[in-house]
């Protein structure tokens, strides 16, 4: 491995990325299959046209990437493990080599097997490896849902995609245990990374997936992550996205869900911390009778920025979608909620709800909320709501009048507000862990090193959330 | 003297509501405050409890012989002041159990006591729930959320019973209650009535005072106490209404 590192500390620009792509076209990407190579080429062409999004685009009006892009980052085309992997994942992930699907800086981490095929036919592991081992599955699903024609960032990710997580659940398979995908960003200097995940649920299958974005140190980072999720006919996915990144991080996470007939999605986006977080969530009902419930909770302070964009495409009849995003913003934090529900002409008997509620704790915290329904069918039930305000002063007085300190009264009210989202988490140990993290976050005690849902099995933390993949 | 109010003036947004209130409450006494709507009864209660919406422009309030006006809301509560709200606020997502346990333990901490164990707490709750005859599942619900008017008022009395205050101010707890609910509220008050505490009962009607016999009745009119007397004053008010007060 020669040129592992390129352009250290340079700003991220369209020209730099084009140059980097050209430079590696004859080298690194030479091993690509014909399929991959064509996708890369098409995606790069589209990126040349679109470039990085600017605030001139309606979709990016309230989130400016300029300062983030200009910070200067190294870009790696190979995994660089000059940190002790065991140390990074120490405590947080017991049984690293067998149990967890982990990524470090966007690269799959494993001690021995990069890709495992389990007894029930499930395949879990590295996407890079899946490109080689399972070309037929790849060609059927990869790049089919993450539409790069409308997004410069998704185009760029598709042009450069090298590794990430691959999960394949065959038809009729249900996993009893929760699968955890952990992406830790940890590097001695600032880096730009783009990982790519592909998750496929066959017909009538069912899994729970916890998907974490964590930082480990205080270095700046810029991550452009794309995840494609195919949920087959009558399959169910219980999905949790947890984000605890440092204040200098920029994370653009685009998740494309495709729901086949009668498929079911429960998704939770919980953002504890991060410099600039943008979640693009796109849901396509590609068959009749699907259900998607998406909930979000974000707790931001300092100069942090969170942007949740949710697009739900009711392309087929009799589907139900609901969105509830709730945020608490303190100090100078800013938030954006942009919900767009499109009900196409043939999508009769659609049921759709969008809600966004925010608490602003200071005069300097801001939020921009835009729920939007675009309806072309006539037999539908759609509604939306948006509310932004301060902590209820009447309720504060009521609680304090009973002897509760101002601090605790605030905590009770904020926690109650957050709990509408947390209480919907159906995996109990996960809910308890998230409750704990939310409480800590609201008290200002959550450390950026507190990763996701995994932790040591120590006496003070008896709750072990241990997943042994071999038992799935 | 438990509570002593002298020449109290209070206003909101520059509009004077209380225009010189004088009132003294001793341990062991029950005082009733009556008066037409909008005369400042709730304002008086809120000022004693420490609501900062109202600005005290003149006068003094002493509680347990100490100046009360500078004391923060929660400390007043921990010193035994309880306000039963006329319009209890709904607090979605905060269960009564969790809320009361937090409150009770903060009170105990202030008094140098250890937190109450879950078992003790539940036992105490069961006992007080019986007293005010509230459904046992009510306490698992969010504070006042979706409660009927009667349930909200009973919940205030239940909280009072749990926190065992020294000075309980009940602001129109009887309004909108049917006779059964009224009897329960009265039972709660009479049960707690002792030599070492006191009640300030704000009411519109003489009705409640048939069940809770007051030691004193005061008439609040346009921000002032215009008449004080014994329990017979309540009956007089019931017969004559408030109009005749305009000339006093
Ligand atoms: N939050 C408020 N903002 C403005 N005016 C208020 C507020 N609360 C009470 N007032 C005014 O103060 C006066 C007294 O109200 P209140 O104390 O509630 O009377 P009562 O309890 O005797 O019916 C009324 O004229 C009312 O309009
Ligand atoms: Mg009133």
What are the boundaries of each domain within chain A?
14-287, 392-472
Q: How far apart are CA A30 and CA A333, in angstroms?
A: 44
| Chain-centre distance for alpha carbon A103 | 14
Q: How far apart are CA A239 and CA B140, in angstroms?
A: 29
Q: Name the token pair of A36.
A: 């991959």
Q: Which residue in B80, B81, B89 has the most chain A C-beta atoms within 10 A of its own C-beta, making it the best mutation to test that interface?
A: B89
Q: What is the pLDDT of residue B111?
A: 95
Identify the weakest region by mean pLDDT among A80-84, A91-95, A270-274, A282-286. A91-95
Domain that holds residue B165: 3-247
Spacing, Cα B153 to ligand 1 middle (Å): 20
Q: How far apart are CA B91 and CA B127, in angstroms?
A: 24
Question: How does residue A97 score in pLDDT terms, banded at 50, 70 and 90?
Answer: very low
Is 60 exceeded by the pLDDT of residue A92?
no
Is 60 exceeded by the pLDDT of residue A212?
yes
Identify the weakest region by mean pLDDT among A400-404, B75-79, B229-233. B229-233
Q: Which residue of B has its CA nearest to A412?
A: B94
Q: What is the pLDDT of residue A88?
A: 59
Domain count, chain B: 1
The single-letter DSSP state of residue B246 is G
Task: Please indicate whether residue B41, judged by its CB atom, sits closer than 6 Å to ligand 1.
Answer: yes
Q: Name the token pair of A177.
A: 């245990």
Inter-CA distances, B208 with A25, B160, B177, B215, B226, Å = 88, 17, 10, 14, 21
Q: Tell me the Cα Rg of chain B.
A: 18
Q: What is the pLDDT of residue A86?
A: 58
- What's the rounded mean pLDDT across residues A375-402? 96
Q: How far apart are CA B125 and CA A361, in angstroms?
A: 34
Q: How far apart are CA A176 and CA A206, in angstroms?
A: 9
Picking from A347, A245, A372, the residue whose alpha carbon sits closest to that of residue A305 is A245
Strand A320-329 relative to strand A291-300, pairing: parallel
Q: How far apart are CA B59 and CA B162, in angstroms?
A: 33
Q: What is the pLDDT of residue A83?
A: 61
**Measured between beta carbons, which residues in chain B are less than 8 angstroms from residue A326?**
none
- In total, the C-beta contacts within 8 angstroms joining chain A to chain B are 71
Q: How far apart are CA B40 and CA B32, in angstroms?
A: 14
Residues 6+ apart with CB under 8 A from A408: A399, B102, B106
Residues 6+ apart with CB under 8 A from B172: B41, B42, B86, B202, B203, B204
Q: What is the DSSP string of A9-76?
A: EEPP-HHHHHHHHHHHHTTGGGG--HHHHHHHHHHHHHHHHH-S--TTSGGGTT---HHHHTT-EEEE
Q: What is the pLDDT of residue A6?
A: 55
Q: Which residue has the tokens 């003489």?
A: B206
**Closest residue to B73, CB basis, from A401, A416, A419:** A401
Picking from A458, A468, A457, A463, the residue whose alpha carbon sits closest to that of residue A433 is A463
Average pLDDT, chain A: 88
| Residue A86: burial class (beta carbons within 10 Å; 0-12, 13-18, 19+) | exposed
**Closest residue to A401, CB basis, from B83, B91, B93:** B83
**Closest residue to A398, CB basis, from B85, B100, B104:** B85
The single-letter DSSP state of residue B173 is T
List, for residues A112-142, the tens digit of each pLDDT value.
678 888 889 999 999 999 999 999 999 999 9
Q: Name the token pair of A453.
A: 């849902």
The answer to whether the CB of B123 falls within 8 A of the CB of A446 is: no
Q: Which residue of B has its CA nearest to A407?
A: B74
The single-letter DSSP state of residue B113 is P
Picking from A34, A36, A54, the residue whose alpha carbon sits closest to that of residue A44 is A36
The answer to whether the CB of B141 falls within 8 A of the CB of B95 is: yes
List, for residues B102-111, the tens digit of each pLDDT value.
999 999 999 9
Greatest C-alpha distance within chain A: 72
Q: Which of B11, B17, B45, B222 to mutate to test the pocket of ligand 1 (most atoms within 8 A of CB)?
A: B17
Spacing, Cα B222 to ligand 1 middle (Å): 11
The answer to whether the CB of A367 falls within 8 A of the CB of A327 is: yes
The answer to whether the CB of A260 falls within 8 A of the CB of A289 is: no
Spacing, Cα A149 to ligand 1 middle (Å): 61
Chain length of chain A = 472
Q: How far apart are CA A94 and CA A98, in angstroms?
A: 9
Question: How does residue B240 score in pLDDT terms, banded at 50, 70 and 90?
Answer: confident
Question: How does residue A3 score in pLDDT terms, banded at 50, 70 and 90?
Answer: very low
Strand A123-126 relative to strand A115-117, pairing: antiparallel
Is 50 exceeded by the pLDDT of residue A221?
yes
Picking from A242, A305, A308, the residue whose alpha carbon sits closest to that of residue A274 is A305
Q: Which residue has the tokens 């996701």?
A: A452
A398 interfacial to chain B (CB closer than 8 Å): yes
Q: What is the pLDDT of residue A197?
A: 98
ipTM of predicted complex: 0.97
Q: How far apart are CA B175 and CA B84, in angstroms?
A: 12
List, for residues A43-56, the tens digit of each pLDDT value.
999 999 999 999 99
Instruction: Report percent pLDDT > 90 for chain A.
Output: 72
Spacing, Cα B38 to ligand 1 middle (Å): 6
Residues 6+ apart with CB under 8 A from B27: B2, B195, B196, B197, B198
Q: What is the pLDDT of residue A454?
A: 45
The answer to whether the CB of B91 falls within 8 A of the CB of A401 is: no
Is 80 exceeded by the pLDDT of residue A69?
yes
Q: Which residue in A403, A420, A442 has the most chain B C-beta atoms within 10 A of its own C-beta, making it the best mutation to test that interface?
A: A403
Q: What is the pLDDT of residue A451?
A: 52
| Residue A270: burial class (beta carbons within 10 Å; 0-12, 13-18, 19+) | buried
Q: What is the pLDDT of residue A149?
A: 97
Which B residues, 136 through 155, put their C-beta within 8 Å of a C-beta on chain A?
A: 142-143
Task: Please indicate whether residue B40, judged by its CB atom, sits closer than 6 Å to ligand 1.
Answer: yes
Q: How far apart are CA A387 and CA B110, in angstroms?
A: 37
Residue nearest to atom 27 of ligand 1 (CA): B38
Q: For the domain that residue B121 is a member of, what is the CATH number? A: 3.40.50.300
The answer to whether the CB of B41 falls within 8 A of the CB of B94 is: no
Q: What is the pLDDT of residue A44?
A: 97
Inter-CA distances, A274 with A415, A453, B246, Å = 20, 17, 64
Question: How does residue A184 score in pLDDT terms, banded at 50, 70 and 90?
Answer: confident
- What's the rounded mean pLDDT across residues A248-277? 97
| Residue B246: burial class (beta carbons within 10 Å; 0-12, 13-18, 19+) | exposed
Q: Measured from the CA of B202, which atom of ligand 1 is nearest?
A: 21
Helix A406-422 to helix B96-110 angle (10° resolution) is 160
Picking from A189, A203, A68, A207, the residue whose alpha carbon sits closest to that of residue A124 is A207
The single-letter DSSP state of residue B184 is H
E strand segments, chain B: 3-12, 15-25, 30-34, 55-63, 66-67, 81-84, 91-95, 142-143, 167-171, 198-203, 216-221, 224-229
Task: Please indicate whether residue B223, judged by its CB atom, sits closer than 6 Å to ligand 1.
Answer: no
pTM, rounded to two decimals: 0.90
The answer to whether the CB of B24 falls within 8 A of the CB of B1 is: yes
Average pLDDT, chain B: 94
Q: Name the token pair of A300.
A: 């931001």
**Closest residue to B107, CB basis, from A392, A400, A403:** A403
Contact B89 A412 (CB under 8 A): no
């Amino acid at each position: 491995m020669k040129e592992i590192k390129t352009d250290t500390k340079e700003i991220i620009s369209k020209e730099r990325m084009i140059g980097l792509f050209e430079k590696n076209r004859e080298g690194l990407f030479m091993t690509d299959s014909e399929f991959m190579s064509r996708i890369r080429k098409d995606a790069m062409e589209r990126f040349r046209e679109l470039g990085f999004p600017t605030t001139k685009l309606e979709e990016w009006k309230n989130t400016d990437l300029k300062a983030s892009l200009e910070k200067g980052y190294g870009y790696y085309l190979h995994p660089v493990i000059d940190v002790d992997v065991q140390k990074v994942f120490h405590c947080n992930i017991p049984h690293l080599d067998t149990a967890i699907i982990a990524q470090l800086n966007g690269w799959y981490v494993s001690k021995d097997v990069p890709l495992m095929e389990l007894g029930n036919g499930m395949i879990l592991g590295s996407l890079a490896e899946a490109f080689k081992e399972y070309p037929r599955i790849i060609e059927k699903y990869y790049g089919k849902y993450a539409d790069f024609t409308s997004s410069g960032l998704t185009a760029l990710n598709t042009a450069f995609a090298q590794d990430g997580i691959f999960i394949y659940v065959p038809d009729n398979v249900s996993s009893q245990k929760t699968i955890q995908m952990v992406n830790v960003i940890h590097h001695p200097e600032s880096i730009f990374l783009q990982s790519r995940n592909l998750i496929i649920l066959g017909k009538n299958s069912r899994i729970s997936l916890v998907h974490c974005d964590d930082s480990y140190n205080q270095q700046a980072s810029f991550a452009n992550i794309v995840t494609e999720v195919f949920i087959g006919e009558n399959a169910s996915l219980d999905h949790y996205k947890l984000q605890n990144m440092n204040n200098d991080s920029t994370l653009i996470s685009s998740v494309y869900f495709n729901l086949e007939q009668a498929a079911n999605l429960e998704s939770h986006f919980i953002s504890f911390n991060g410099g600039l977080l943008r979640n693009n969530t796109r849901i396509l009902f590609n068959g009749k009778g699907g259900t998607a419930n998406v909930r979000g909770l974000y707790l931001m302070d300092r100069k942090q920025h969170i942007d949740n964009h949710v697009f739900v495409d009711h392309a087929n009849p009799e589907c139900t979608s609901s969105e509830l995003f709730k945020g608490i913003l303190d100090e100078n934090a800013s938030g954006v909620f942009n919900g767009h529900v499109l009900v196409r002409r043939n999508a009769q008997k659609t049921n759709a709800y969008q809600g966004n509620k925010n608490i602003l704790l200071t005069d300097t915290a801001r939020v921009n909320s835009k729920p939007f329904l675009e309806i072309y069918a006539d037999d539908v039930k759609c509604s939306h709501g948006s509310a932004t305000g301060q902590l209820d002063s009447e309720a504060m007085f009521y609680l304090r009048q009973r002897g509760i300190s101002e601090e605790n009264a605030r905590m009770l009210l904020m926690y109650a507000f957050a709990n509408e989202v947390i209480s919907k988490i159906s995996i109990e140990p996960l809910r308890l862990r998230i409750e704990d993290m939310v409480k800590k976050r609201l008290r200002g005690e959550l450390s950026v090193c507190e990763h996701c849902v995994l932790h040591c099995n120590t006496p003070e933390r008896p709750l072990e959330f241990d997943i042994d993949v071999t038992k799935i | 003297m438990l509570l002593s109010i002298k020449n109290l003036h209070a206003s909101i947004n520059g509009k004077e509501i209380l225009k010189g209130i004088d009132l003294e409450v001793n341990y062991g006494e029950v005082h009733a405050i009556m008066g037409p709507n909008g005369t400042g009864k709730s304002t008086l209660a809120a000022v004693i409890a420490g609501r900062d919406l109202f600005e005290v422009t003149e006068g003094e309030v002493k509680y347990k012989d100490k100046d009360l006006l500078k004391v923060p809301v929660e400390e007043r509560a921990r010193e035994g002041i309880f306000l039963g709200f006329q319009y209890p606020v709904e607090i979605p997502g905060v269960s009564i159990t969790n809320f009361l346990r937090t409150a009770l333990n903060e009170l105990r901490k202030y008094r140098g006591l250890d937190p109450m164990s879950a078992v003790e707490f539940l036992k105490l709750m069961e006992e007080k729930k019986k007293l005010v005859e509230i459904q046992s599942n009510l306490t698992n619900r969010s504070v006042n959320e979706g409660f009927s008017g009667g349930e909200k008022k009973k919940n205030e009395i239940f909280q009072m019973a749990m926190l065992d205050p020294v000075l309980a101010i009940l602001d129109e707890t009887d309004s909108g209650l049917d006779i059964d609910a009224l009897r329960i509220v009265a039972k709660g008050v009479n049960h707690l009535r002792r030599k070492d505490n006191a009640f300030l009962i704000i009411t519109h009607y003489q009705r409640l005072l048939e069940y809770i016999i007051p030691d004193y009745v005061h008439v609040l009119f346009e921000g002032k106490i215009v008449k004080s007397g014994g329990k017979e004053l309540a009956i007089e008010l019931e017969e004559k209404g408030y109009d005749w007060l305009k000339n006093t």
